[in-house]
Chain A
Amino acid sequence: MLSKVDEIKSPRNIYGQTLSELGEKNPNIVVLDADLSCSTQTCKFRDKFPNRFFNCGIAEQDLITTAAGLAYGGKTVFASTFAMFATARCLDQIRNTICYSKLNVKIVATHGGITVGEDGASHQALEDISFMRSIPDMKVIVPSDCTEVEEVIRYAAQTKGPMYIRIPRTNLKTIFDKNEYKFNPRVGLKIKDGKDLTIVTNGETLGEVLIAAQKLSQVGIEADILHYPVVKPFDFISLVGSAKKTKKVIVVENHSIIGGLGSAVCESLSENYPTKVLRIGTEDTFGQSGEQRQLMEFYGLTGTKIYEKIIKFMDVR
């Protein structure tokens, strides 16, 4: 399942490409953007299907609610902008119009997480998953590489109902083999077997967790790695199974430790199998400007930093 090819690709590019491929087969797909179509890469769809592309301008509330209307009119709707503006700016519209009426709108937000980089805190969505996860009937998906982005977008196009899909700005190392990987929306995916601790992650931190796990192996600590692209609905069964085995759970995500994957894990474990959990993500804080890797380092999200935090956590225990 894991890729043997060493390559780095842009998930936004893959999103745009997949959309325009889907657009050919499915004339019912429409796409909306809010003046960021080159950044989100929905421009690829626009260039092919100008009649089915609507640019709502710098007006995210209008973007989301017009998307809702198109979905009510029977269309399969993809609406894109940066994660910061696709969620916080129009939370009411997402809740009261899209989700309350369970409309077929896929909000595909790019530039999620701290790795937006130099634009700084105003553009770094660190709470988006928290916002989306709390709304009834919203599915929340955070893919980890380009193979998965493509699979998830294809899944979204053929699955009815509201969905929030978060894509990073960063180019990503390919993790999953294109010919072998199949996205499963129902279960967390076991990436590696281990007995000493469980690491749960998703999004661009999966690549970092793999590096950390390798380092842990070198000192004789074997991690059970669970990848959870679907944060909601949350598959607690796989998690509890792993926690029963290792008794220690670490969550790593490019998001605030409040309300995201870390919270989903804590909620599930506290109800089903209380286990000590270490949440690794951004703390209760805003981000700042910086180069992507520097920021990952600063906020403790690189493979090495994750490794160090885990060693400390294991020692304390």
Chain B
Amino acid sequence: MKKIADSIRQDILKMIHNAKSGHPGGSLSCVDILVVLYKKILNVPVDWDKSPDFKNRDRFILSKGHASAALYATLAHFGYFSKSLLMGFRILGSKLQGHPSSKVGLAGIEVSTGSLGQGLSIGAGVALALRLDKIKSKVFVLLGDGEMQEGSVWESLMNINNQKLSNLVVIIDKNNLQIDGSVCDIKSLDPLDKKLEAFGFKVKSIDGHNYIELENAFMEAKKANEPFAIIANTIKGKGVSFMENNPSWHGKAPNDEQLKLALEELC
């Protein structure tokens, strides 16, 4: 697993370096979550909409759309599209838009995201549709912790509990940082677990870089018959020492030298 994650982290950095823009910090923090999801948990056919089983797939929605590089690199790694597309990230005419776009027809991308605070309601709507159609698939929505400052997230949490949506799993990439600094200084969410519990969720707090803890939490969430939230405690910039826990790497591309150093660390 670590090997896969390291290779995805390398791709992310190369993509952002090539595009001269992007979001390394929050992409690196959620890589391990994505790797476990796509390797062990999600039932999403690699031939995407060409699969006869397409409508029964699990749905993954990246609500923190700025971590698009992480999702693209993960999807390419698991064969949803060619790795050769990765270097088109953020370049004119590419399907790898700065934030995920469902308009361009890229395998693995469910809905467009990027404006924060919307993925959870979208996921809830999809989960309601699945329930009406009696399809057993699950919906997984990945949010950032900073994103949870958006009021619309809490509107959706209330709705999910009210509708008793047990076919939706909320995952929070809690890296504790946002652009302007630390989440707890800017607008604290703590105690996040208690808040989610008060909103009617079963909450599991785990180490978001520990593959076993991640897999166990996802398995438990899949079996749950109540709204379920996983708080994945992560490190922003994980895997690159000079990016770790440093908010200045939220939305900045590494230069040639920095890329070289980072890739060496991830070998």
**Interface set of A (CB-CB < 8 Å, partner B):** 30, 51-52, 54, 56-57, 59, 61-62, 64-75, 92-93, 96-97, 100-102
Name 15 interchain pairs, CB-CB below 8 A, sorted by A: A30-B128, A56-B155, A59-B155, A61-B121, A62-B124, A65-B156, A66-B124, A66-B125, A73-B128, A74-B129, A75-B129, A93-B121, A96-B112, A100-B102, A101-B111
Residues of B with C-beta under 8 A to A70:
125-126, 128-129
Please provide the 7 A-B residue pairs with the shortest distance between their CB atoms, ordered closest to farther: A69-B125, A73-B129, A65-B121, A62-B155, A59-B155, A61-B152, A69-B122
- Please measure, in the bound complex, the distance between the C-alpha atom of A97 and the C-alpha atom of B124, giving whole angstroms: 14
- Please measure, in the bound complex, the distance between the C-alpha atom of A30 and the C-alpha atom of B126, giving whole angstroms: 12
- Please measure, in the bound complex, the distance between the C-alpha atom of A51 and the C-alpha atom of B111, giving whole angstroms: 25
**How far in angstroms is the closest Cβ of chain B from A7?**
38
- Please measure, in the bound complex, the distance between the C-alpha atom of A75 and the C-alpha atom of B130, giving whole angstroms: 10
Q: Name B109-135 residues within 8 Å CB distance of A.
A: 110-112, 114-115, 117-118, 121-130, 132-133
- Please measure, in the bound complex, the distance between the C-alpha atom of A101 and the C-alpha atom of B122, giving whole angstroms: 12
Residues of B with C-beta under 8 A to A72:
110-111, 122, 125-126, 129
- Please measure, in the bound complex, the distance between the C-alpha atom of A97 and the C-alpha atom of B118, giving whole angstroms: 8
**How far in angstroms is the closest Cβ of chain B from A236?**
27
Contact B158 A57 (CB under 8 A): yes
- Does residue B191 face the partner (Cβ distance < 8 Å to A)? no
- Please measure, in the bound complex, the distance between the C-alpha atom of A64 and the C-alpha atom of B151, giving whole angstroms: 14
**How far in angstroms is the closest Cβ of chain A from B242?**
33
Residues of A with C-beta under 8 A to B216:
none
Contacts A59-B152, A69-B124 known; 19 new A-B pairs at CB < 8 A? A30-B128, A57-B155, A62-B155, A62-B159, A65-B121, A66-B124, A66-B125, A66-B156, A68-B121, A68-B122, A69-B126, A69-B128, A72-B122, A72-B126, A73-B129, A96-B115, A100-B102, A101-B103, A102-B103
- Please measure, in the bound complex, the distance between the C-alpha atom of A132 and the C-alpha atom of B155, giving whole angstroms: 23
Residues of B with C-beta under 8 A to A96:
112, 114-115, 118
- Please measure, in the bound complex, the distance between the C-alpha atom of A65 and the C-alpha atom of B160, giving whole angstroms: 13
**How far in angstroms is the closest Cβ of chain B from A102?**
7
Instruction: Give B133-162 as 1s and 0s: 1 = Cβ < 8 Å from A's Cβ atoms.
Output: 100000000000000000110011011001
- Does residue B163 face the partner (Cβ distance < 8 Å to A)? yes
Contact B128 A66 (CB under 8 A): yes
Contact A97 B163 (CB under 8 A): no
Partner of A65, one of B101, B127, B132, B152: B152
Give the interface centre of A59, A62, A75 by most chain B CB atoms within 10 Å: A62
Contact A69 B127 (CB under 8 A): yes
- Please measure, in the bound complex, the distance between the C-alpha atom of A313 and the C-alpha atom of B126, giving whole angstroms: 53
**Interface set of B (CB-CB < 8 Å, partner A):** 101-103, 110-112, 114-115, 117-118, 121-130, 132-133, 151-152, 155-156, 158-159, 162-163
Contact B125 A73 (CB under 8 A): yes
- Please measure, in the bound complex, the distance between the C-alpha atom of A62 and the C-alpha atom of B151, giving whole angstroms: 10
Residues of A with C-beta under 8 A to B158:
57, 59, 62
- Please measure, in the bound complex, the distance between the C-alpha atom of A62 and the C-alpha atom of B127, giving whole angstroms: 14
Residues of A with C-beta under 8 A to B125:
65-73
**How far in angstroms is the closest Cβ of chain A from B106?**
13
Chain A residue, CB-CB nearest to B55: A74
Residues of B with C-beta under 8 A to A51:
132
- Please measure, in the bound complex, the distance between the C-alpha atom of A93 and the C-alpha atom of B159, giving whole angstroms: 17
**How far in angstroms is the closest Cβ of chain B from A48?**
15
Known: A30-B132, A51-B132. A69 touches B112 (CB 8 A): no
**How far in angstroms is the closest Cβ of chain A from B151?**
7
Contact A101 B155 (CB under 8 A): no
Residues of B with C-beta under 8 A to A65:
118, 121-122, 125, 152, 156
Residues of B with C-beta under 8 A to A102:
103
Chain B residue, CB-CB nearest to A64: B121
Partner of A57, one of B118, B123, B129, B159: B159
**How far in angstroms is the closest Cβ of chain A from B132?**
7
Contact A66 B133 (CB under 8 A): no
Contact B111 A97 (CB under 8 A): yes
**How far in angstroms is the closest Cβ of chain B from A165?**
20
Contact A93 B133 (CB under 8 A): no
Residues of A with C-beta under 8 A to B132:
30, 51-52, 75
Residues of B with C-beta under 8 A to A69:
111, 121-129
Residues of A with C-beta under 8 A to B115:
92-93, 96-97
